[in-house]
Amino acid sequence: ENQLGTQGGDDLNFINSLTNCSNLELLDFAFNKLKGPIPDSISNLSTTIKVLSMNNNSIYGNIPIEIGNLVNIEVISFSVNNLIGTIPTSIGKLNQLQNLYIGWNLLSGHIPSSLGNLTQLWILSLANNNLSGSIPNTLGNCHNLAILTLATNNLIGTIPIQVISLSSLTTGLHLYQNSLTGSLPSEVGNLTKLLSLSIFDNKLSGHIPESLGKCLNLNELLMGNNFFEGEIPKSLITLQGLVKVDISSNNLSGEIPEYFEQFQDLAYLNLSFNQLEGWVPRNGVFANSSLVSVVGNNKLCGGNEGLELLPCIQKKKTKKKTSLLVKVIIPISVGSLCLFLLLLFFLTFYRRKRISYLELFRVTNGFSMDYLIGVGSYGSVFKGILQDINQTVAVKVLNLQREGASKSFLTECNALRHLRHRNLLKIITACSSVDFQGNDFRALVFEFMSNGSLEEWLHTRINEQQGESRNLSFIQRLDIAIDVASALDYLHHHCQPAVVHCDLKPSNVLLDDDMIAHVADFGIAKMFSAASYDSSQSQPSSDVIRGSIGYVAPEYGMGVKVSMQGDVYSYGILLLEMFTRKRPTDEMFLNGLSLHNYAAMALPNQVMGIVDTLLVEANNEIVEQSNTQARLQDCLVSAITLGVTCSTEAPAERMIMIDVVSELLRIKKHYQNYSWSISE
């Protein structure tokens, strides 16, 4: 990530001079301004090359057929350029290829059936091109494929059974915005580990298959703007992890299944413009009309007031008294009693009402200093145990004397009621009351995170006298980075309204028993509707600067409005801090030197000199045994490069979080392959 490029049209001719580098394994000049065609001499690069990355440039012309000579290549990344022509069939010769990124270009023609030869392929991204024809059946031979993205092309034909039954698909199957026809094959039930199925904006028809209920890991189901018909299957009741569902603009009929009320993580449900009828549920996701859309279904009634539907009219039937008593009154009475007991149990053990000041006073022993576990900008955090549900919690008590504390409470409440994600800190309840002196009292009650904050793991000494530090392994740091990136991707792109966190830093990343990361503290978060958000960065803002020194995006200091790119900047700094164990506010970062520049100057050859010494020492034994220090260094270089890219000064040049997640998953896979290879 530099500013390389003359814009003269021959910027890639330097590849000719690299053909004598017989041990070259990695060639990466992504995120520059290089312009020109890929020279045919690319085929003369070392056969040892593993990674070829030139995405996010201004490269044009065809992908050379000769690329098929790079027989040991593992990663090809040509995305976000101006490449034209067809995808060379010779790519099918690259038997070691694991990741192929050639999306966001101007490629045309058919998807080569030879790609089915790539049995090691893990990620295939061909989205946002002008590809035509059908999806080749041979892709079903890619038995390691975890992510398949063919979206936003001109593909036709049916979804091949061989592809839809690929049980290796885990992260995403994205076929949206094409012209695919036919039904969704019942073999979709084989995708038991799939997280995201996106097939909206096609011409698919038929019934939604019952087998879809076998995809138990789904959290995103996007099937809108097709021609699906029939009822919404009862089998979908098993998909309890769904966060986002869009089956709008189809021909679906029947009633809205009540099981949607039970989906605790469901944060967006779009059933609009179908032929649904009958009662609209009122609980669960339906309780918040901003999270549900049912417009365009003229036979629906009831629901909450925000949906603006007509009330449902009950038709009464007259029966003989005995029949009425036996068939109606007694069953209703028994049913009502059972329902009351069930509801009482549910409310008692699962759905807490707002907690009282007195109860919080008791569980924290009068907000004793012995129970204090942290102090933040707007208040203090205490540990306590809620006896009725036997759960350890963290009680965040707002200091209402601090300016902005009340607003922070309202902002956090408003944000958290919309958010449901495994990597966000879960709120249990809230308290808005008065204390024993009659003063206003505000508190939020969260799940307790037993392993504290990332800040503590990076910078707190276990034994101050001996100077010992906690240590996180490389894979632990990588997993935490993936967790945080997944949370930001959800906030930015998968919830309505979209949320910008505005204060991402290590102290706001909390770790549970299993070291899974949870992003916390939404006290200064900003929410945007899809219509109001503008990522152009061109509009000034009257907001005060949001964020913490060292992590806040530089453009905020110039009056630029809050944006998702600002969160990406904070994430980049966080990532660099995780692997260097240096705060952006350390004394060494003076006179123009920043953590970003410090890391950028070390790339790629000096990275081992800036990474956390504890991380290096922990890997010394492995490195000595395997004599493959370069492979380990590759992973660290990739992680530092990602941090530098995310924290670049120009907002438009920063990555989006879904790409960050994909890159981190690639690094993790590369590291695990390396670890497995040295253990065998």
List, by residue number, the catalytic residues.
Answer: 503
Only one residue has tokens 């770790």, namely 511
User: Which tokens belong to 352?
Assistant: 């807490």
The answer, yes or no, to whether the previous bond of 604 is cis (omega within 30 of 0) is yes
Cβ neighbours of 251 (radius 10 Å): 13
Torsion of CA 574, 576, 580, 584, to 10 degrees: -60
Nearest to 205 by CA among 223, 190, 187: 223
The burial class, CB within 10 Å (0-12 / 13-18 / 19+), for 255 is: middle
Q: Is 321 annotated as a binding residue?
A: no
- Cα–Cα distance for residue pair 658/337, rounded to 1 Å: 49
Rounded distance between C-alpha atoms, residue 149 and residue 626, angstroms: 36
Q: How far apart are CA 521 and CA 516, in angstroms?
A: 17
Cis peptide before 497 (omega within 30 of 0): yes
Dihedral, 640, 642, 647, 651 alpha carbons, nearest 10:
160
Distance CA 651, CA 500 (A): 14
Cα distances (angstroms) measured from residue 404 to each of 400, 446, 501, 544: 8, 21, 16, 12
DSSP lists the bridge partners of residue 511 as 517
- Residue 228 backbone dihedrals phi, psi, to 5 degrees: -65, 145
Write a three-state SS string for 69-121. Answer: HCCCCCEEECCCCEECCCCCHHHHHCCCCCEEECCCCCCEEECCHHHHHCCCC
Euclidean distance between CA atoms 548 and 389, whole angstroms: 36
Q: How many residues does the chain have?
A: 680
- From the list 518, 489, 479, the residue with the least C-alpha distance to 658 is 489
Q: Is 198 left (phi over 0), alpha (psi -120 to 50) or beta?
A: beta
Q: What are phi and psi of 203, to 5 degrees?
A: -125, 35
Cα-based angle 99, 100, 104 (whole degrees, multiple of 5): 135
Among residues 490, 641, 656, the alpha carbon closest in space to that of 2 is found at 641
- Maximum separation of any 2 CA atoms in the chain, in Å: 98
- Single-letter residue type at 5: G
Using alpha carbons, select from 579, 319, 337, 394 the residue that is nearest to residue 475.
Answer: 579
- Edge-to-edge strand list for the sheet holding 196-198: 26-28, 51-53, 75-77, 99-101, 123-125, 147-149, 172-174, 196-198, 220-222, 244-246, 268-270, 292-293
Question: Residue 386: enclosing H or E segment and its boundaries?
Answer: strand 379-386
Query: Using only C-alpha atoms, what is the Rg of the chain?
Result: 28
Q: How far apart are CA 268 and CA 539, in angstroms?
A: 29
Terminus-to-terminus CA distance in the chain, angstroms?
36
Cα distances from 549 to residues 126, 647, 665, in angstroms, run 40, 14, 29
415 contacts 496 by C-beta, under 8 angstroms: no
Binding-site annotation: residue ranges for ATP? 396
